[in-house]
Amino acid sequence: MAQEGQKPVIGFSCGDLNGIGMEIILKTLSDQRILDFCTPVIFANVKAMNFYRKSLPEANFNYSSQKDLSRLNPKQVNVVNVWEEEVAITPGVLNETGGQYAYLSLAAATEALKAGSIHGLVTAPIHKKNIQSEAFPYSGHTPYLKAFFGGGELAMLMVGENMRVALLSEHIPVGEVAAQVTQEAILKKLQVIHKSLQKDFGIDKPRIAVLGLNPHAGDEGLIGEEEKNIIQPAIKEAKRNMMVFGPYPADAFFARGQHERFDATLALYHDQGLIPFKSLVMGEGVNYTAGLPAVRTSPDHGTAFDIAGKGKADHLSLQAALFTCLDILQHRSGHADRFKNPLRKVSARMLANAVDERIEESENG
Q: What is the pTM of this model?
A: 0.88
* CA pair distance 115, 146, nearest whole angstrom: 16
pLDDT recorded at residue 101: 97
pLDDT per position as a tens digit, 72-102:
999 999 999 999 999 999 999 999 999 999 9
Say yes or no: 16 and 119 in one domain.
yes
pLDDT recorded at residue 222: 84
Higher pLDDT, 6 or 34: 34
pLDDT(165) > 90: yes
* CA pair distance 312, 306, nearest whole angstrom: 10
Give the end of a domain, one of 239, 271, 290: 290
Say yes or no: 65 and 54 in one domain.
yes
Give the end of a domain, one of 252, 274, 290: 290
* CA pair distance 163, 102, nearest whole angstrom: 30
Say yes or no: 303 and 200 in one domain.
no
At position 248, the amino acid (one-letter code) is Y
DSSP letter, residue 7? P
| SS3 label, residue 156 | strand
The count of other CB atoms within 10 Å of the CB of residue 259 is 22
Cα 345 off chain centre by: 29
* CA pair distance 362, 365, nearest whole angstrom: 5
Say yes or no: 298 and 349 in one domain.
yes
DSSP letter, residue 214? S
Give the sign of the dihedral formed by CA 331, CA 337, CA 342, CA 344. negative
Q: How far apart are the first and last CA of the chain?
A: 49
DSSP letter, residue 207? E
Higher pLDDT, 215 or 343: 215
* CA pair distance 78, 129, nearest whole angstrom: 29
Domain of 67, in residue numbers: 1-150+291-365
Q: How confident is the model at residue 339 (pLDDT cuts 50, 70, 90)?
A: low
pLDDT per position as a tens digit, 227-239:
999 999 999 999 9
pLDDT per position as a tens digit, 258-287:
999 999 999 999 999 999 999 999 888 999
Q: How confident is the model at residue 59 (pLDDT cuts 50, 70, 90)?
A: confident
Give the end of a domain, one of 238, 269, 290: 290
Say yes or no: 265 and 341 in one domain.
no
Say yes or no: 296 and 286 in one domain.
no
Q: How confident is the model at residue 360 (pLDDT cuts 50, 70, 90)?
A: very low
Say yes or no: 42 and 82 in one domain.
yes
Say yes or no: 251 and 284 in one domain.
yes
pLDDT per position as a tens digit, 94-117:
999 999 999 999 999 999 999 999
pLDDT(69) > 70: yes
Q: How confident is the model at residue 46 (pLDDT cuts 50, 70, 90)?
A: very high
Share of the chain above pLDDT 90, in %: 80
Higher pLDDT, 337 or 257: 257
Share of the chain above pLDDT 70, in %: 90
Identify whether the C-beta of residue 248 lies closer than 8 Å to the C-beta of residue 217: yes
pLDDT per position as a tens digit, 278-324:
999 988 899 999 999 999 999 999 999 999 999 999 999 999 999 99
Q: 192: left (phi > 0), else alpha (psi -120 to 50), else beta?
A: alpha
Identify whether the C-beta of residue 253 lies closer than 8 Å to the C-beta of residue 211: yes
pLDDT per position as a tens digit, 180-226:
999 999 999 999 999 999 999 999 999 999 999 999 987 888 888 89
pLDDT recorded at residue 242: 97
pLDDT(355) > 60: no
Any idea what the CATH number is for the domain that residue 118 is in? 3.40.718.10
pLDDT recorded at residue 67: 85
Identify whether the C-beta of residue 52 lies closer than 8 Å to the C-beta of residue 28: no
DSSP-derived secondary structure for 234-278? HHHHHTTTSEEEEEE-HHHHHHTTGGGGSSEEEESSHHHHHHHHH
Say yes or no: 327 and 272 in one domain.
no
Number of structural domains (the chain) is: 2
Say yes or no: 134 and 166 in one domain.
no
Say yes or no: 275 and 302 in one domain.
no
Those residues with Cβ within 8 angstroms of residue 21's Cβ, 6 or more apart along the chain or in another chain: 13, 14, 15, 102, 124, 125, 303
DSSP letter, residue 229? I
Peptide bond between residue 342 and the one before it cis (omega within 30 degrees of 0): no
Q: How confident is the model at residue 26 (pLDDT cuts 50, 70, 90)?
A: very high
pLDDT recorded at residue 151: 85
DSSP letter, residue 48? H
Higher pLDDT, 124 or 221: 124
| SS3 label, residue 347 | helix
Identify whether the C-beta of residue 208 lies closer than 8 Å to the C-beta of residue 242: yes
Question: Across the strands, what pairs with 79?
Answer: 42, 65
Say yes or no: 50 and 109 in one domain.
yes
* CA pair distance 231, 189, nearest whole angstrom: 12
pLDDT recorded at residue 344: 46
Q: How large is the average pLDDT for residues 159-176?
A: 94
Report H helices in the chain.
21-29, 46-53, 96-115, 141-148, 177-180, 183-201, 226, 232-238, 250-255, 270-281, 316-339, 342-363
Those residues with Cβ within 8 angstroms of residue 22's Cβ, 6 or more apart along the chain or in another chain: 14, 15, 44, 48, 49, 51, 52, 124
pLDDT recorded at residue 29: 95
pLDDT(364) > 60: no
* CA pair distance 309, 92, nearest whole angstrom: 7
